[in-house]
Amino acid sequence: MKQRHARLFPGDLVEVKMPDDILKTLDGAGTLDHLPFMPEMVEFCGKRFRVSRRVVKTCFSGPVSTMRGFRNNDVVTLDGVRCSGQAHDGCQKACMIFWREAWLRKVGDAGGESHPDLEGRGRLQAGLTTSTGPHTYFCQASELLRATDDLSRWERLGKCFGEVRAGNCSALHMARRLGIWLFWRIRRTVLGEYARGRNTSTPVESLNLQPDEWIEVKSIDKIVETLDETGRNRGLYFSPNMRLLCGGQYRVKRRLDKGIVDGTGEMRHFRNTVCLEGSLCGCAYTAFGGCSRCEFVYWREIWLRRAGTRK
């Protein structure tokens, strides 16, 4: 396929194209270059948003975490536009939606949004896929491996320069990301995982936290008591950047009961796990140069307590 030229950059105002225009770009599975246009995206047709980032590279958090790059360099994210999961059995991951530039058009002002007709939306919805089997879902997360390529070490370095050229971050910010990654890589090699516990079977605690409740993140010493030697509680990793929230008070954004697994399309079920407002992934701590995916961090309730309580 012919290489597309990059056109959209952070801060650009764009409008999501009309349903019939988008439908023309899709194949029989409802994808463009293997990236699905999901039913949750239809509601945004005709609406205007600012470009948040060019997706120069993205992490993949499937069975093996890695950094990957979209083919054709034509993918962006939009400010605040996340997947609702409504068409995928209520998946609660709230992933940032990836947008091919072919689905967007650059506009000059915030007014005058278009209003797609219901028939057009219906035709687009009919051409989209949501599952590939009784228990397997079809979405951008499930197809991330197919829509991207693995990156060599030199390609990852080149993508770091690409992040700066694209306007995703300054050269100083990228240098800081690389410094963070190098520090934690050396520390992990010399001393092992930062938050390394001693449990062979990790403990469970249920607080039944609800959206908008205020919580306090426990001290790192208390959290380490809940982890195994790999820094995990029942498979969920306590990453180095999460320590920065210890002792602080935050609002619960949502409970996390289920989410679609990257690369497989399987629905994974969670217990006693929540997302906190403003707590986003710290890829720079574990991935060379970080990425643009901005996923929510998952918190076990045993790492938290209701604000105002001590134990």
Which residues are 66's β-sheet partners? 60
pLDDT > 90 fraction of the chain, expressed in percent and rounded? 70
Q: Which residues contact residue 172 at a Cβ distance below 8 angstroms, ignoring those fewer than 6 apart?
A: none
Q: What is the predicted pLDDT for the residue at 3?
A: 43
Q: Model confidence over 281-301: pLDDT tens digits?
A: 877 777 788 887 888 999 999
Q: What is the predicted pLDDT for the residue at 40?
A: 97
> For the sheet containing 13-16, what is the strand order?
99-100, 75-78, 48-54, 13-16, 104-106
pTM (2 d.p.): 0.90
100 burial via Cβ count (<10 Å: 0-12, 13-18, 19+): buried
Is residue 39 over pLDDT 90? yes
Q: What is the predicted pLDDT for the residue at 18?
A: 95
How many other C-beta atoms are found inside a 10 Å radius of the C-beta of residue 306? 14
> In one letter, which amino acid is 287?
A
Is residue 97 over pLDDT 60? yes
Q: What is the predicted pLDDT for the residue at 192?
A: 84
Q: What is the predicted pLDDT for the residue at 2?
A: 43
d(C-alpha 260, C-alpha 269), whole Å: 9
Structure tokens at 201: 């079977």
Split at pLDDT 50, 70, 90, the class of 62 is low
pLDDT > 70 fraction of the chain, expressed in percent and rounded? 95
d(C-alpha 2, C-alpha 235), whole Å: 42
Split at pLDDT 50, 70, 90, the class of 1 is very low
